[in-house]
A and B are shown apart, each in its own frame.
Chain A
Amino acid sequence: MNETILLAILTIITAATPLVFAAIGELVVEKSGVLNLGVEGMMLVGAVSSFTAVHVTGSATLGVLAGMFAGVMLALIFAFLTLNLQSSQVATGLALTIFGVGVSALIGQPLIGVAYEGLPNVQIPVLSQIPVLGRILFSHDILVYCSIALVIAVSWFLRRTRAGLILRAVGDSHDAAHALGYPVIRVRYLATMFGGGCAGLAGAYLSMAYAPMWVENMSAGRGWIALALVVFASWQPSRVLFGAYLFGGISILQLHAQASGTINIPSQLMSMLPYLATIIVLVLISRDHGKIRRNAPASIGKAFHPTT
């Protein structure tokens, strides 16, 4: 039974990792005052690009890079349309998702039915030999470690660095930031590109580690879950991480509960559980309104017209 619990934890980590990547990227984007609803589309394009790169070159590193690059490219389209041409962020983001679904299907046409053995696990020497803990903490594919490091880095960047402060200022009041001489558009471009890269990475994780193959629409709504996580975690990196693991954890545990055949809850209800529980828990821990107001980027989704 202990072995079962251990294996379940390993599965939870795989399930949570793509959500962590996509959500932490979107968090930075939103903190800069941009709402990009195209996460799902960027994930899919990232997934297909990384799978293509792995298939053609055989290099996992190139695969990951290709996924990130594709995500950044898609984000650039979004940034140009919304930041330069002042198109509506909501509409453009939705269009980006629809575009991403279509273009990834097109690129992926020749990849259907192609197999890939998946990212190798990195056993951290010595540490991975520790019984139980070693396997839970120190023997994953490299991207799992990256996702945790990324959350810590983003958290540090937003709170402790001058650049992070500027990013938050831009997100809270672009007019004030502009008046102080900060390059609002440039900051938002960089944040949006970062978000795109993260979504691409999340996609790469899906097609290279989670379910190593390409099939159309394989993200199956995970981009939307990531978007929701950011809001319900009230824009705090540590809560995004917690939310992603909570969601992953409950999704996996309900499958285990079903497989064990001992718990008598309708499976439809079980499938709802991760969504319900994640929202309820995150709303409860973030119910301090003052804090939400302080954390929420005040000019999110608003177009910026520089008045020189």
Chain B
Amino acid sequence: MFRKTVLAKKLLAAATGLLLTTFSGILSADDPFKIGFVYVGPVGDHGWTYRHDIGRQAIEAEFGDKVATTFVESVPEGADAERVIRKLASSGHDLIFTTSFGYMNPTVKVAKAFPKVKFEHATGYKRGDNVSTYSARFYEGRAVLGTIAGMMTKTGTVGYIASFPIPEVVRGINAFTIAMRKVNPEATVKVVWVNSWYDPGKEADAAKALIDQGVDIVTQHTDSPAPLQVAQERGVMGFGQASDMSAFAPDAQLTAIIDNWDKYYVERTLAAMDGSWKSEDVWAGIDSGMVDFPEYGAMVPDDVKAAADVIKESIVDGSLHPFQGPIMDQNGKVVAEEGTNIDDGTLLGMDFYVEGVQGTLPK
């Protein structure tokens, strides 16, 4: 998350050990059900971690003093994570949510040592008797954004600010591009990788660079509202990421993808409390409510709203798959024949750009 210089790296490494492990807990009288959360960023990031914390608050709102929640924020992925998870498990927590991919191995390791504690790991693929995994099909949301972008762009080029070249991000770029080119076959996507999830300054710079090169819509897979703010300032449009960011860019936010963990967190807590909890692998999309949207921006015309709504509905009722063939990759090779969809296995390891994305994918 930090940008480091060689000089600062050692110092930072020394500092990370102490970094920001803020504990916040509420203890109430008759032995509440204790739930712990491990966050990768600060709760105030207004993005990924912020939305998980809203999910935690939903549990508290639902169960009141029957539960007690604890969270530890800004936990680096790695050795520190194991220490934090172990600490939560050994201090009487009954259910622990670890909310970043890099917590996968520590979660599985600690889970083996605490068979009675239930673990929920976000975005991972390793499970155990007491470890579930869950993630959202955000690419379904990207297809909705792509449809809107394709209909709204005037220059025919759309900018995409991307974080790291991992399948999750590449999948989003491809779903967006496919949907965009269905409504606007000539449109292309310019991708800029900032190699950071969260650096408002750099994200703003990337947005400026893209706009300077002629894109009139900016979308992002990084966490801060900075790109949208730039879009607002430069008079172009964009999409919010992870949460509704319209407050930062009332004239620029067309819509947003909202990560909505509330319902899932409440359900899993209930299951853990009444004993029906089982280890599961959940990868849910728009139909589950995990991928959610705010109101459309005022500048979105009715026909675009209608088209976007159709995409949402047909993804929910199953008549449309965002990766429905025929799909060609950048080099014109067919990756999905007409009448087939790209399967989940390929989606989870996606490492190519589809037709319509400019530039080459860093590997």
Residues of A within 8 A of B (CB): 3-4, 7-8, 11, 14-15, 18, 37, 94, 97-98, 101-102, 105, 108-109, 112-115, 117-118, 206, 210-213, 215-218, 220-222, 224-225, 227-228, 231, 251-252, 255-256, 258-261, 264, 266-268, 270-271, 275, 279
A-B contact pairs, 9 of them (CB 8 A): A11-B212, A94-B14, A210-B200, A210-B201, A212-B229, A225-B5, A259-B192, A261-B358, A266-B362
A221 B2 Cβ-Cβ under 8 A: yes
Interface string of B45-69 (1 = CB under 8 A from A): 1100010000000000000000000
Q: Does B4 contact A (CB under 8 A)?
A: yes
The answer for the CA separation of A171 and B18 in the assembled complex, in Å, is 31
Instruction: Mark contacts of B201-231 with chain A using CB atoms, 8 A cut-off: 1 yes-contact digit, 0 otherwise.
Output: 1111110111011010000000011100100
Which of B15, B192, B358 is packed against the most chain A CB atoms within 10 Å? Answer: B192
User: Are B193 and A105 in contact (CB-based, < 8 A)?
Assistant: no
B359 to chain A, nearest CB (A): 4
Which 3 pairs between the two chains have the least Cβ-Cβ distance? A224-B8, A267-B193, A216-B42
Chain B CB within 10 Å, residue with most, of A98, A102, A113, A258:
A258
Interchain CA distance A10-B41 in the complex, whole Å: 31
Pick from B1, B46, B202, B215: contact of A215, CB below 8 A.
Answer: B46
Q: Are A267 and B200 touching (Cβ within 8 A)?
A: no
Which residues of A have CB within 8 Å of B340?
none
* Other contacts beyond A115-B248, A115-B249: 18, CB < 8 A: A18-B201, A98-B18, A102-B22, A114-B247, A115-B229, A118-B229, A206-B201, A211-B200, A213-B200, A215-B46, A216-B44, A220-B3, A221-B5, A227-B7, A228-B6, A251-B205, A259-B213, A268-B362
Q: How long is the Cα–Cα vector from A228 to B4 in the complex, in angstroms?
A: 10
The one of B203, B204, B233, B359 in contact with A258, judged by C-beta atoms closer than 8 angstroms, is: B359
Instruction: Give the residue of A8, A11, A114, A228 whose beta carbon is less than 8 angstroms from that of B5.
Output: A228
Cβ of B199 under 8 Å from chain A = yes
In the complex the two chains form, what is the Cα distance from A8 to B214 in whole Å? Answer: 13
Complex alpha-carbon distance, A231 and B11, angstroms: 15
> Which residue of chain A is the closest to B230 with respect to CB atoms?
A211
The residues of B that contact A118 with a CB separation of less than 8 Å are: 229, 233
Which A residues lie within 8 Å of B213 (CB)? 4, 256, 259-260
| Docked pose: A211 CA to B198 CA in angstroms | 12
Interface: B194 (CB within 8 A): yes
- Contacting pair A224 B4 (CB below 8 A): yes
- Across the interface, A113 reaches (CB within 8 A) one of B3, B6, B46, namely B46
Q: Specify which chain B residues have a CB less than 8 angstroms from the CB of A37 in the assembled complex.
A: 11
Judging by beta carbons under 8 Å apart, are A210 and B195 in contact?
no
Let me know if A215 and B224 touch, CB within 8 A. yes
A220 pairs with B205, CB closer than 8 A: no
Of the residues B7, B41, B206, contact of A228 by C-beta under 8 Å: B7
If over half of A's interface residues share one DSSP class (helix, strand or loop), that class is named, otherwise mixed; here it is helix
- A210–B44 CB distance below 8 A: no
- A-B contact number at CB 8 A: 173
B191 at the A interface (CB under 8 A) = yes
**Which A residues are in CB contact (< 8 Å) with B6?**
228, 275, 279
**Known: A15-B205, A94-B15, A211-B229. Is A271-B193 also a contact (CB below 8 A)?**
yes
Which residues of chain B are within 8 angstroms of A112 by Cβ–Cβ distance?
44, 46, 50
**Do B2 and A108 touch across chains, with their CB atoms under 8 A apart?**
no
Report whether B19 and A217 are in contact in the complex, using a CB–CB cutoff of 8 Å.
no
Docked complex: B26-43 residues within 8 A CB-CB of A: 41-42
Q: How far is the CA of A279 from the CA of B6 in the complex (A)?
A: 9
Q: Are A215 and B5 in contact (CB under 8 A)?
A: no
Q: Are B46 and A227 in contact (CB under 8 A)?
A: no
CB < 8 Å neighbour of B192 from A215, A222, A258: A258
Tell me, rounded to whole Å, the shortest Cβ–Cβ distance linking A113 to chain B: 5
Q: Do A228 and B44 have beta carbons less than 8 Å apart?
A: no
Closest Cβ of chain B to A299, distance in Å, is: 20
User: Residue of B at shortest CB range from A214?
Assistant: B44
Tell me, yes or no, whether B12 is within 8 Å of chain A by CB: yes
**Chain B 173-198 interface mask (CB, 8 Å, partner A; 1/0):** 00000000000000000111111101
Query: Given A15-B201, A211-B226, A215-B46: A224 and B20 within 8 A (CB)?
Result: no
Give the one of A94, A221, A260 with max B CB within 10 A. Answer: A221
> A residues within 8 A CB of B199?
220-221
List of B residues within 8 angstroms of A258 by Cβ: 191-193, 209, 359
Residues in B whose Cβ lies below 8 Å from that of A108: 44
Residues of B within 8 A of A211 (CB): 200-201, 203-204, 224, 226, 229
The minimal Cβ–Cβ distance linking B45 to chain A, given in whole angstroms, is 6
Q: How far is the CA of A94 from the CA of B11 in the complex (A)?
A: 8
B165 and A267: CB pair below 8 A?
Answer: yes
Task: Tell whether, in the assembled complex, residue B229 and residue A213 are in contact, meaning their CB atoms are under 8 Å apart.
Answer: yes
In the bound complex, do residue A210 and residue B204 qualify as a contact, i.e. CB atoms below 8 Å apart? yes
| Interface presence of B346 (CB below 8 A) | no
Contact A231 B7 (CB under 8 A): yes
| Shortest CB distance B214–A (Å) | 8
Neighbour of B208 across the interface among A7, A113, A279, CB < 8 A: A7
**Separation of A224 and B212 alpha carbons in the complex (Å):** 29
Q: How far is the CB of B252 from chain A (nearest CB, A)?
A: 11
Note all chain B residues with C-beta closer than 8 A to A251: 202, 205
- CB contacts (< 8 Å) of B363 on chain A: these are 266
Q: Given A102-B22, A211-B204, A217-B42, decide whether A8 and B212 contact each other with a Cβ distance below 8 A.
A: yes
A98-B18, A228-B5, A251-B202 known; A256+B212 contact, CB < 8 A? yes
Known: A215-B44, A225-B3. A220 touches B200 (CB 8 A): yes
